[in-house]
A = this chain, B = another copy of it.
């Protein structure tokens, strides 16, 4: 395949696609808690069995990934054989949720880890790949599972430990997206497209509290949002929404303050997937939702719906990740953050 592209390195950290890749299908599969939340009507599938019919939480997460990926492929109308790569990842050590979820699809895989920012990383690399003509269709998929993540990062659920109010609730959910190259012969208008991406740096403000991930990630989110607007010459008013992944209430306040200190006020446009996904007064989820699945299912459900319905024209989608393991945490390391921004537009 020959192509004649002129994508642009934009400023310090961004890439602008002159023929923006399009998200031609998307699927979201979530757990019971998410299915009782305010965004329930936007998900494709709500599963009330925490192990998704398997015999462990981890195998349940893989089954959830399998369902989301299958659904995104079938909704796209594209034969599985024409999807050239999958970009995917999750929160579990050595990406076992993703590995066992993807292994039977027989599609080349790039495994990714960006903590809860992985959905942004996967969509960025997907967009780069199809915009360069390396593939016509690729798939991005990420997931997280409440019980698996609690066991991995905090305490097994059986301990019944108490959680501070700053703690977030890991979303049980998987979002999958088929991303296609925009071809001049067959313009893909009508689909939301990824016009630009800004890839984040690891930002470390020295926070060490694993029960306050929002505070760990807010500086990384502020950094990438600032850089994205600067590189792309955009202002908060140019967006319908500026959407972070899972800062929660505590982290969102820090983000808005940090950007305000740098001359940018995003309070009107800001929305956080972690804040929207649960109803804290009813669901007792403290600071909000988190996990790779949080931003992924909110994008696949609510956000792309708003874009597809033309209620929104342009959003900055910024999944946020806290970079820690129990080993790094117990050895006294800080918890740095990372965030990746995508400019997603409709029409």
Question: What's the number of copies of this chain in the assembled complex?
Answer: 2
In the assembled complex, which residues on chain B have CB atoms less than 8 Å from the CB atom of A48? none
Q: Which residues of B sit under 8 angstroms from A124, Cβ to Cβ?
A: 110
- Docked-complex contact A115 and B94, CB < 8 angstroms: yes
**Bound-state Cα–Cα, A125 to B134, Å:** 11
Answer yes or no: A45 CB below 8 A from chain B CBs. Answer: no
Q: CB distance B93 to A7 under 8 Å?
A: no
With contact pairs A92-B327, A94-B93 given, residues A128 and B132 touching in the complex (Cβ less than 8 Å): yes
A202 touches B94 (CB 8 A): no
Select one of B55, B99, B125 contacting A125, CB under 8 A. B125
Distance (Å) between the CB of A63 and the closest chain B CB? 13
Closest B residue by C-beta to A199: B108
Whether A113 contacts B112 in the complex (CB less than 8 A), given A58-B327, A96-B324, comes out as yes
The interface on chain A, measured as residues whose beta carbon lies within 8 A of the other chain's beta carbons, has a size of: 65
> Which residues between 301 and 347 of chain A lie within 8 Å of chain B, taking CB atoms?
323-328, 331, 333, 336, 338
Contact partner of A128 (CB less than 8 A), chosen from B89, B129, B324, B338, is B129
- Other than A109-B201, A112-B113, give 14 A-B pairs with Cβ distance below 8 A: A3-B6, A7-B132, A9-B84, A13-B108, A15-B134, A85-B199, A92-B325, A93-B94, A93-B152, A93-B326, A94-B113, A102-B202, A109-B199, A125-B125
5 contacts between A and B (CB under 8 A): A2-B8, A9-B134, A102-B202, A103-B323, A110-B121
